[in-house]
Chain A
Amino acid sequence: MASLNDYLLVSGLLFAIGLAGVVLRRNIIIVFMCLELMLSAANLTLVAFSRFHPAPNGLPDYNGQMLVFFVITVAAAEVAVGLAIIVALYRARQTIHTDELTSLKG
């Protein structure tokens, strides 16, 4: 059976890939997906901790799993809002490439 460290390693990799995608990719949809990936990495960590830190009665610590549900809910809401923003952005600017969205440049 895989140990906690294995789970954490996978989760860290997922998070790093997500962060790399957020930082490096120019298409805002991909950036958005990478963001979801980072959330999933966090979820994986939470579930792993829940599994490997049982309560005194032998059951998993459900607090971690509950938090995951919250994260999924928030992520769903975020996707709804975020995609709407992207659609609106595309309508306004005719592009979703972050390189071309620099009107905040000082």
Chain B
Amino acid sequence: MVDEASQSHTAPPTRRHGRLYRINNDDWFSSTLRISILLLFAVFFGLPLLWLLLVPTKNDAQLSELAPLAFGSFARVGEAWQNLLGFGENSVARWAWNSIVYTVGSLILGLAVTLPAGYGLAVAHFAGRRLLIWLTLITMIIPGSALVLPLFLELSYLRLANTPWAVILPAAFFPFGVYLAYIYYATSLPKDLIAAARVDGCNEWGVFYYIGLPLSRTLLGLLTFLSFTANWNNYFLPYVMLNTSTLFNLPVGLQVLMTGTAALRPTFATDLPIYRAEVALAGLMLVVPIALVFLFSQRFVISGALTGATKE
């Protein structure tokens, strides 16, 4: 018995040891595989971005002659920046400013409509509420570009086409935001809290302002990021609505810059100093604000993305 006991006592460590060894071996293999796959994807997606960052440091000839990831010079970046600013008498700066105005305008107007609408759908029970939720869902799945043409006709009728409002007003229409706000308030806002506020004398607007709004910081962060990204990158709507070049936003303006110079159309004979490096720099101008907004709102974006995922 003692022997058996001692055997049975000593055997498990051996087995455990063997199992542990296997686990470590498996761990090493799986983590190496995992890291390799992640590195592969990081290189796959990161390399083009790195290349884009390096392009403005080189002139057009260096882009062909030097290695793809070679660094040119900082002086060349300054030169490209000056060339970009000199295009059409500060057109690029004007387009950047327009982009900010349209994006922030649509964002503020969109949030001002989206949050109360989502809150109302979640909290109040009124006739047609279900219809409104269905309509919100339906408009969510209609591609935005499909609405651009009827919107153009509508805004032309209202004499708003080719004005900043032609971009701001339609972009403020944000059904996905309404639905997200509805889900958020329906699942995260305790009904007892609303009832308590009403007992304390708050009217419906007061409940939203003092209870609903302060509790929706995560939602606000997520909606801000989504709305900002969509409006900052908006091309088709401003392209259709705007004809005056001083009203263009960056995506539409950059299209004009690219097609009106030899940068990406070598068969275009022109003396304008806009080359591939300048276009890459303009592309970075378009990307950097989104990266910055994501950096500041990532906490809300990640936690907000889980809104409604669980019900406690």
Chain A partners chain B: no
Interface residues of B (CB under 8 A from A): none
Interface residues of A (CB under 8 A from B): none
